């Protein structure tokens, strides 16, 4: 089964096995890091603001109709009292991951997510959906152990603090339609088509 999106075909995760997305959730019950580092990554699809501490990535934000300064100021309001340090280099080679060079990411990228037990369970399950594939809200609910919670899964996607690394854009409606995305359907389609094209190229080169 596959989902039609523009000129690309998005393969359903339920019927297409592949390597998991190289991102892991770090459990930090009592975060103590008071310094936050940040950088802006120029990706082919859309610029991305990445914020991390000594434990891992804590926030990402796509710069959609928003300046870098405005995006940073919005996130800084969520972390009062923290020291912010601009860093020139992408610490985990995230740009290489999105550009299809996942083999250069030798260790899973650590992400620190805070949320309800339900949200954390859903986000952790979502990491099993690799680049180039999609799943539905209902299928993700079942895989997470909550078969009747597809609507709540949609809310978990909407409140995801680390979009792209926690790939909520890979969750679509059961009828193949895109569904909601916090950064707009255009970017969601671009991300899915970009990942599908990379997966297709990788498959052709085998």
Q: What tokens were used for 106?
A: 């030798």
Q: DSSP character for 198?
A: H
Question: With the CA atoms of 131, 9, 149 and 185 taken in that order, what torsion angle do they form, in degrees rounded to the nearest 10?
Answer: 90
> From residue 43, how far is each of 40, 95, 97, 103 by CA, in Å?
9, 6, 10, 18
Ramachandran bin of 145, using left for φ above 0, alpha for ψ from -120 to 50, beta for the remaining angles: left
Q: Exposed e or buried b for every residue in 97-122, given b needs 16+ CB within 10 A?
A: bbebebeeeeebbbbbbeeeebbbbb
* Residue in 175, 138, 139, 180 with CA at minimum distance from that of residue 159: 180
Q: Is residue 142 annotated as part of the catalytic site, yes or no?
A: no
Residues classed as catalytic = 168
């Amino acid at each position: 089964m596959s989902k039609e999106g523009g000129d690309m075909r998005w393969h359903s995760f339920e019927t297409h096995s592949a390597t998991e997305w190289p991102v892991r959730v770090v459990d930090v019950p009592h975060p103590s890091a008071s310094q936050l580092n940040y950088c802006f990554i120029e990706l082919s699809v859309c610029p991305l603001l990445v914020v991390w501490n000594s434990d891992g990535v804590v926030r990402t934000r796509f710069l959609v109709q928003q300046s870098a300064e405005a995006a940073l100021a919005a996130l800084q309001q969520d972390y009062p009292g923290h020291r912010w340090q601009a860093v020139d280099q992408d610490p985990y080679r995230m740009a290489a991951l999105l550009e299809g060079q996942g083999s250069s990411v030798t260790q899973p990228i650590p992400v620190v997510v805070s949320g309800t037990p339900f949200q954390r369970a859903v986000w952790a399950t979502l990491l099993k959906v690799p680049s180039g594939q999609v799943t539905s809200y209902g299928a993700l609910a079942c895989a997470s152990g909550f078969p009747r919670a597809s609507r709540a899964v949609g809310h978990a996607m909407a409140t995801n603090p680390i979009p792209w690394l926690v790939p909520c854009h890979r969750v679509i409606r059961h009828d193949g339609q895109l569904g909601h995305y916090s950064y707009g359907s255009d970017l969601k389609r671009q991300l899915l088509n970009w990942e599908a094209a990379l997966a297709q190229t990788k498959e052709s080169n085998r």
